[in-house]
Amino acid sequence: MNNNILLQIAEDYDSPVYVYNSEIISKQYKRLTNAFGKVKQVKINYAVKALSNISILKLMKTLGAGLDTVSIQEVKLGLAAGFTADKIIFTPNGVSLEEIEAVAKLGAKINIDNLSILEQFGTRHPKVPVCIRINPHVMAGGNTNISVGHIDSKFGISIHQIPHILRIVENTNMTINGIHMHTGSDILDIDVFLYASEILFDTAKNFKNLDFIDFGSGFKVPYKSGDIETNIEEFGEKLTSRFNTFCKNYGKELTLAFEPGKFLVSEAGQFLVKVNAVKQTTSTVFAQVDSGFNHLIRPMLYGSQHEIKNISNPNGRERFYSVVGYICETDTFANNRRINEINEGDILAFKNAGAYCYSMASNYNSRYRPAEVLWHNGEAHLIRKRETFDDIINNQVEIDFAKKKVKVS
């Protein structure tokens, strides 16, 4: 999508607005499947939490993906998008046994990362196959907010607790059909991932009825010019060789599974905002936009750097700006960033806004969540309406205080 298309979308659907390019999503999906083209059975389960719009899920279905879900609501979204339950894997953390049982009743694959829940579920439902999420105690990405495979993580069952798992499986006579890990996001070093994979292979040897091994995801995508990214082709070549060897020794062709979210949709998304005001202080020039961390929290939550372009003035002289929002908090998107000269009314585009952006939006300050648009086959399609005031008050229940006595102590 060029700047003219983006500006037209901002005009047609107002700002702020999220825009996704289906062509980039398809390209990333094919890139990943091609990297593992020498594996007989590969399954890409899209991580719904990255971007859960039902139209995006339907797009993933046309590409041949399954779904990785973390809540019963995401499972139901997948079913509503047309996925059959066997194409959905449920990988929750910290949820109740009742929620897991409800998802199992829907027919989705179950992935458990807690010894207590594993024993309870196996005791009550020994005939329901279960995948086990392992914590390999491997740090990926260097940031504990996005690295979930380290020793202090709440995710997964420790590799040091394998004997406990085996005892539970033996006592309950349950079937383990998969082994899973997810080391976290922004994997830069392929060798670190391969090291964690070896731990997963060693774990898998303990289970004789596996159907798949799920290696999670977390592949790094570039967020700015010159940024590094996971070399997915090199990684595919190395892991393919090791996986095929394992299957040969295991005596059975297993499915190699991944659960990418950011890799598939991050670069496909752009977030368009309008500049409300340009404010000069004694030390800083602020570009104040019609959004805030209620719409895009990643820069504030994770310190992520989204490239920002002034698509209204792409050839203007570069100046230093701090781009901030309209929320009554510190909601700084960028500090002293070089951006083409900004004037009030200009449209700025935030790059890499496809993953964990809209899906983490809120109504803080009683602001409306923005619209979402999918650019598909050369046309803009509205896939989520902008919220209205009715949406803000829809589920609120008013008390008529005129009819009720209020005691003041």
393 part of a folded domain:
no
pLDDT band at 184 (very low <50, low <70, confident <90, very high): low
Q: And the tokens for 377?
A: 């086959």
Q: Where are the alpha helices (DSSP H) in 64-218?
A: 72-80, 97-106, 115-124, 162-172, 190-204
Instruction: CATH number of the domain at 313, please.
Output: 2.40.37.10
**Total domain count for the chain?**
2
The answer to whether residues 209 and 307 belong to one domain is no
The answer to whether residues 167 and 288 belong to one domain is no
The answer to whether residues 213 and 312 belong to one domain is no
Reply yes or no on whether the pLDDT at 140 is more than 60: no
The answer to whether residues 255 and 274 belong to one domain is no
Instruction: Please state, in angstroms and rounded to a whole number, the distance separating the CA atoms of residues 359 and 384.
Output: 12
Instruction: Please state, in angstroms and rounded to a whole number, the distance separating the CA atoms of residues 160 and 182.
Output: 17
Domain boundary among 194, 229, 261: 261
Reply yes or no on whether the pLDDT at 25 is more than 60: yes
The answer to whether residues 256 and 189 belong to one domain is yes
Widest distance between CA atoms in the chain: 76
**DSSP conformational letter for 351:** S
246-301 residue pLDDT tens = 999 999 999 999 999 999 999 999 999 999 999 999 999 999 999 999 999 999 99
348 part of a folded domain:
yes
Phi-psi region of 216 (alpha: psi -120 to 50; beta: other; left: phi over 0): left
Taking a C-beta distance cutoff of 8 angstroms, is the pair 132, 175 a contact? no
The answer to whether residues 139 and 225 belong to one domain is yes
Instruction: Please state, in angstroms and rounded to a whole number, the distance separating the CA atoms of residues 235 and 240.
Output: 8
The answer to whether residues 225 and 256 belong to one domain is yes
The answer to whether residues 92 and 152 belong to one domain is yes
Buried/exposed code over 345-356 (b: 16+ C-beta within 10 A; e: otherwise): ebbbbbbbbbbb
- Residue range(s) defining the domain that contains residue 287: 269-386
**What is the pTM (predicted TM-score) of this model?**
0.93
Taking a C-beta distance cutoff of 8 angstroms, is the pair 279, 285 a contact? yes
pLDDT band at 104 (very low <50, low <70, confident <90, very high): very high
Instruction: Please state, in angstroms and rounded to a whole number, the distance separating the CA atoms of residues 244 and 256.
Output: 10
The answer to whether residues 214 and 304 belong to one domain is no
Q: Which of 131, 247, 328, 357 is catalytic?
A: 328
Domain boundary among 203, 228, 261: 261
The answer to whether residues 241 and 357 belong to one domain is no
204-241 residue pLDDT tens = 999 999 999 999 988 888 887 778 888 999 999 999 99
The answer to whether residues 252 and 301 belong to one domain is no
Active site residue 328: yes
